[in-house]
Amino acid sequence: MTEYIPGLAGVPATKSSISSIDGEKGILAYRGYSIQDLVEHSSFEETALLLMNGELPSPKELTNFKNILKKRNEVKRKIRHLLWSLPSTGHSMDVLQTAIASMATFYPDAGASQPDSSYTQNALIKIISNMSTLVAMWTRISRGYDPIPPSKTMSYAENFMYMCFGEESDPEIVSLLDASLILHAEHTINASTFSTMVTASSLANPFASIAAGVGTLAGPLHGNANENVLIMLDEIGSPKNARKWIEGRLKNKQVIWGMGHREYKTKDPRATILEKMIKAYIKKNGLNLSNRFETALEVESICNELLAQKGVYPNVDFYSGILYSEIFNFTKEHFTSIFAMARSAGWVAHWHEQVSDNRIFRPTQIYIGADFRDYPAK
């Protein structure tokens, strides 16, 4: 293959049985199960185990997995001290990448040469379990508060909210967070998953590989876009300003954050589910959110008018930031790390799939530099 394809768009890089997308119909499935069904019937813990093992677990298997997650959710004291030593202004994704990478020093034998060993499997579960603890720790440490120790009885989503806010959350809020974690858990070979796989292909340990994924997700063209959506909505200010703002952006060929996805030719199914969840919660509880949600609905309406013919529709980032800020009460600097917390399940599954049938990634290039030449005489 000698044709240069920017961003490797449409170039198959692997074979995988973990998830699939039908971009024309707007369908995303994990191991064959649609995300709509998983959000309605599953939990994040069950979905994570489905992604890791390939099949829905039995009740006993699920109970054992939940117990292991709870048992392993404490963070090493020295990692906690590491977080305290970092500037409070540090971005949560930079902190999370540092913390995950540092975990390799505590579990050096979690190797790619034996991906099915009990030690390595426990390390993979440790990553998923500690992700929520680390993200919650930084939401408090960055504000000058001591971390709240994780519970040994709460579900994954419930425990995360407890560690962040120090009190038990309304079950409806927990259910919304659990659904959001399911929606963000996996999405085929996106940039951060590909980074994880490339690092894994060198037979690096899982902590180094997941840290690579975290670093990639931090970019504004990937997971960090949900922060920019809120900045955009605040800049627009109200629904009445949306058309002028959008037309100005399009005229100047600037990005409209949260709009468009390389894989989908229709609305991202995750965005559809998130929008419905937000609307249902508002209606049930009689809430009046800030201008952000109404502005977002107007932005989507205008973009449908102006961009739908080009296949540009809202993606998952368009509504996730609104859910995190308006209903969960998180500030935007922590949005992407919550995304990473969910995506750890998919990254772990891809790490295992890659090293189980491995060949190191070594793409080629099309050289456009100078011809061979002699070094000039002095």
Strand partners, 314: 259
Who's near 289: CB < 8 A, 6+ residues apart? 282, 322, 326
Contact status, residue 338 vs residue 93, Cβ threshold 8 Å: no
Instruction: State the amino acid at position 12 in one-letter form.
Output: P
Q: How far apart are CA 41 and CA 358, in angstroms?
A: 34
| The pLDDT value given to residue 1 | 60
Summarised one tens digit per residue, pLDDT across range 130-183 is 999 999 999 999 999 999 999 999 999 999 999 999 999 999 999 999 999 999
183-192, 290-299, 304-313 — most confident range: 183-192
Q: Which residues are catalytic?
A: 261, 317
Q: How far apart are CA 81 and CA 261, in angstroms?
A: 39
Who's near 42: CB < 8 A, 6+ residues apart? 33, 50, 56, 182
| The pLDDT value given to residue 252 | 92
pTM metric for this prediction = 0.93
Summarised one tens digit per residue, pLDDT across range 221-263 is 888 888 889 999 999 999 999 999 999 999 999 989 989 888 8
Q: How far apart are CA 225 and CA 329, in angstroms?
A: 18
Q: Phi then psi for 64, rounded to 5 degrees?
A: -65, -40
Average pLDDT over residues 198-204: 95
Rg (CA), the chain: 21
Q: How far apart are CA 363 and CA 59, in angstroms?
A: 43
Q: Which residue is associated with the tokens 């054992």?
A: 64
Reading the block at residue 97, the tokens are 């990448």
- Dihedral (CA of 247, 248, 254, 255) sign: negative
Reading the block at residue 202, the tokens are 């060198």
* Integer CA distances (angstroms), 69 to 62, 148, 154, 168, 287, in order: 11, 17, 10, 19, 34
| The pLDDT value given to residue 78 | 96
Strand order in the sheet with 27-30: 19-22, 27-30, 33-34
| The pLDDT value given to residue 360 | 96
* Percentage above 70 pLDDT, the chain: 100
Q: Is 36 exposed, middle or buried (0-12, 13-18, 19+ CB in 10 A)?
A: middle
Reading the block at residue 159, the tokens are 């425990």
* Integer CA distances (angstroms), 170 to 130, 201, 325, 332, 374, in order: 23, 43, 16, 22, 72
Contact status, residue 121 vs residue 128, Cβ threshold 8 Å: no
* Integer CA distances (angstroms), 99 to 80, 128, 131, 374, in order: 9, 13, 9, 48
**Is pLDDT above 80 for 310?**
yes
pLDDT band per the 50, 70, 90 thresholds, residue 108: confident
Q: Which residue is associated with the tokens 């940039």?
A: 191
Length of the chain: 378
| The pLDDT value given to residue 224 | 81
> Of 36-50, 157-171, 244-258, 278-292, where does mean pLDDT reach its minimum?
278-292
**Is pLDDT above 90 for 290?**
no
Mean pLDDT of the chain, nearest integer = 93
Counting Cα atoms < 13 Å in the Cβ hemisphere of 344 gives 28
pLDDT band per the 50, 70, 90 thresholds, residue 110: confident
> Of 65-69, 97-101, 260-264, where does mean pLDDT reach its minimum?
260-264
Q: Phi then psi for 27, rounded to 5 degrees?
A: -120, 130
Q: How far apart are CA 255 and CA 219, in angstroms?
A: 14
